[in-house]
Amino acid sequence: MVNEELSHIFSDVADILEIKNENPFRIRAYRRAAQIMEDLPDDAGVMLADGRLKQVPGIGKDLYTRIEEYIHTGRMAVHDELLQEFPQGVLDILAIPGVGPKTAKLLFETYGIDSVEKLGASAESGALQGIKGFKEKTIANILKGIALKKSIQGRFPLGTALPIGEMIIQELGKVRGVRSLELAGSIRRRKETVGDIDILVVSDEPGPLMDAFVRLKDIERVLSHGPTRSSAILKNTHLQVDVRVVEKDSLGAALAYFTGSKTHNIKLREIAVKKGYKLNEYGVFDMNGRKIAGATEEDVYDILGLQFVPPEIREDQGEIEMALERNLPRLIGLADIRGDVHMHTVASDGNSTVGQMALSAQALGYAYIAITDHSQSLGVAHGLTPQRLELEIREIEAFNRTGARIKVLSGMEVDILADGSLDMDSGMLGRLDIVIGSIHSGFRQSKEQITGRMIRAMETGLVDCIGHPSGRLIGERDAYDADWDAVFSAAQKYRVAMEINSYPLRLDLTDTMIKKARSKGLKFMITTDSHDPKQMRYMNYGVSVARRGWLEKDDVVNTQEFKHFTGWLKGDR
């Protein structure tokens, strides 16, 4: 988790430098450093020790020294010095949607507002109204942003919690006597936010296991330490982890019980009672108290007369009734994805070349990818002009002549502008294999304006997919207001797919919106929006959301082989 700690520190440094209005290139360097830390393939301390850290692209002498300093001392001088000028509360304010660096600095230095709590109180009391630039709408947006942050307080994005849970399982798996380790709870159901991490263990020697858990280097505080259950709080995230030891013949029942959801489990128990059974975390018991199932989840569901229900759809949304009829959908799986069709290179705001992205995808087993760099109006992402797009098309053509097994499609993530027009010449877009239309600005337009923008973009006949359709960022930005019935109806009419963006803070579309879109007969593309080869691993998050939205393989067009996928793009829809 030192990688995550370093990523947070570099993000803090970039934020404070931005508040201080320092050199934008220096700010950008620290932002990139935060991303590099997040994407490291191994623990930064391990990579420092074996010399690999020096070989990581983007880690220069200055950055290397700062990482080395933190790993050896647990501190970073530049971070400590900057926090003396602007406390953490100011950074928390900067994270509120609608509050920029200049505003955060003004509020702190002139009005002494150094926490989200003080900002909220000032906004509600009317104290902000006399400040230059603080109009009624500005204050309303600040209050809305604070409410958004509070709505996920105490919860953590799946993209934060799942890697931590997997890391703990990997560490505990090294302890002698451990036979089985399983994640349970909402993290197993792949909810987009997670309250805590539940781990179930089958072990011949529970004592050494529990001792090993509470001694993990990432533990900040031990809440309980017992022979069969221990709980602890992790450093930095303050995420709670609960570890329970269960008997081998009860693992299935325990998994079902602790995975949930609560309402799904209630219905399971009701079915058990009707059959004359008792169901709990230890197993399924007959009227004489004899255990008749519990070693596996499949056995538990089967003895209740149910088809096995995948964890992602255990939300009491009709899955029990369909399981009784043994008519559940065959949910899409990660292995079904044949190509990743939304990614960026160094030509815009990515970190790698066309060839590097392609060969990394090939190593993952993909048959094809699409390079979809940003269009010109997105200056912050160094969007492509028609001339630079032409050069990229030639680069892709050159790669495809190298004989590599993977095919690379030429594409673009083109901005849908404020009036619904596309940010690239139609002739150039017509030459591309794939066009993803996305909104990157004007998020606060009216419902009618946002809806009209997306529909007008689809009406051009040039857009194959709407990228991150709702624009939301979990805990940072609400989805923009749109008439989704109208948007989805237009997408069905013009045969435009909806993206399921796998980036952990997007997960956009959401599971509920996927169900709504699917009911309209829409197709989907699950993509990673990768800006670096390591981000291609995010695909599992998008697939999890698709599973929660009850999607099957045939609902997702990039499960098709290359010939059929390109046929779909050319109009065979």
Give 145-165 pLDDT, tens digit per residue: 777 777 666 788 999 999 999
Tens digit of pLDDT for each residue in 176-189?
999 999 999 999 99
pLDDT number for residue 27: 85
Rounded Cα distance between 334 and 483, Å, is 31
In the predicted structure, residue 2 carries a pLDDT above the cut 90: no
In Å, what is the CA distance from 480 to each residue of 69, 341, 439, 446, 470?
Answer: 42, 24, 10, 9, 6
What is the mean predicted confidence (pLDDT) over 221-248?
91
- Helix or strand holding residue 437 (H, E): strand 434-438
Q: Residue 56 has what pLDDT?
A: 83
Q: What confidence score (pLDDT) does residue 209 get?
A: 94
> Which pLDDT belongs to residue 151?
64
Question: Would you give the DSSP letter of residue 225?
Answer: E
pLDDT of residue 8: 83
Query: pLDDT at position 382, please?
Result: 85
- pLDDT: is 60 or 375 the higher one? 375
**pLDDT(518) > 90:** yes
- For residues 518 and 40, which has the higher predicted lDDT (pLDDT)? 518
Instruction: Choose between 11 and 330: higher pLDDT.
Output: 330
Tell me which CATH homologous superfamily contains domain 156-245: Beta Polymerase, domain 2 (3.30.460.10)
Domain segments of the chain as ranges: 2-151, 156-245, 250-324, 334-569
- pLDDT per residue as tens digits for the range 126-142: 877 777 767 777 788 78
- Report pLDDT for 384: 94
**pLDDT at 530 > cutoff 90:** yes
Look-up: residue for tokens 């309402």?
263
Among 340-344, 402-406, 473-477, the range scoring the smallest mean pLDDT is 473-477
Q: Which of 482, 420, 500, 413 is nearest to 455 (CA)?
A: 420
The band of 42, judged by pLDDT with boundaries at 50, 70 and 90, is confident
Q: Is the pLDDT of residue 77 over 80?
A: yes
- What would the pLDDT profile of 406-458 be if each residue is shown by its tens digit? 999 999 999 999 999 999 999 999 999 999 999 998 988 999 999 999 999 99
Given this model, what pLDDT does residue 148 score?
73
C-beta separation of 312 from 259 below 8 A: no
Task: Identify the pLDDT of residue 342.
Answer: 98
Q: Which of 85-94, 305-314, 342-351 has the highest mean pLDDT?
A: 305-314
Share of the chain above pLDDT 90, in %: 66
* Partner residues linked to 181 by β-bridges: 201
| pLDDT for res 139 | 81
- Interatomic CA distance for residues 33 and 547, integer angstroms: 33
- CB burial of 284-313 (b: ≥16 within 10 Å; e: otherwise) equals bbeeeeeeebbbbbebbbebbebbebbbbb
Q: How high does pLDDT run on average in the chain?
A: 91
Q: pLDDT digit string (tens) for 111-123?
A: 888 888 888 888 7
pLDDT digits (tens, 9 = 90+) for 197-219: 999 999 999 999 999 999 998 89
User: Which candidate, 107, 116, 108, places its Cα nearest to that of 86?
Assistant: 108
Q: Parallel, antiparallel, or unpaired for β 283-285 and 291-293?
A: antiparallel
Q: Name the CATH topology of 2-151.
A: DNA polymerase; domain 1 (1.10.150)
Name the residue among 438, 441, 460, 458 with its Cα closest to residue 522: 458
Which H or E run includes 224?
strand 219-225
- How many other CB atoms sit within 10 Å of the CB of residue 80? 10
Predicted pLDDT at 573: 59
Q: Are both 2-151 and 334-569 of the same fold? A: no
Q: Is the per-residue pLDDT at 1 higher than 70?
A: no
Shortest CA distance to 37 belongs to which of 20, 16, 12? 12
Burial class of residue 50, CB neighbours in 10 A (0-12, 13-18, 19+)? exposed
In terms of CATH architecture, what is 250-324? 2-Layer Sandwich (3.30)
**Bridge partners of 416?**
422
- What pLDDT does residue 400 have? 96
Question: Looking at 360-364, 375-379, 459-463, 529-533, which range is the least confident one?
Answer: 375-379
Pick the closest to residue 304 from 329, 281, 276, 282 (CA basis).
Answer: 276
What is the share, in percent, of the chain residues with pLDDT greater than 70? 98
For residues 338-370, one letter each, b for 16 or more C-beta atoms within 10 angstroms of the residue's C-beta and e for the rest, the string is bbbbbbbbebbebbbebbbbbbbbbeeebbbbb
Q: Which residue has the higher pLDDT, 336 or 98?
A: 336
Topology at the third CATH level for domain 334-569: TIM Barrel (3.20.20)
pLDDT at residue number 379? 78
Amino acid letter for position 524? F
DSSP 538-558: GHHHHHHHHHHTT-BGGGBGG
With bands split at pLDDT 50, 70 and 90, how would you rate the model's confidence at 327?
very high
Q: Taking residues 161-172, report their average pLDDT.
A: 94
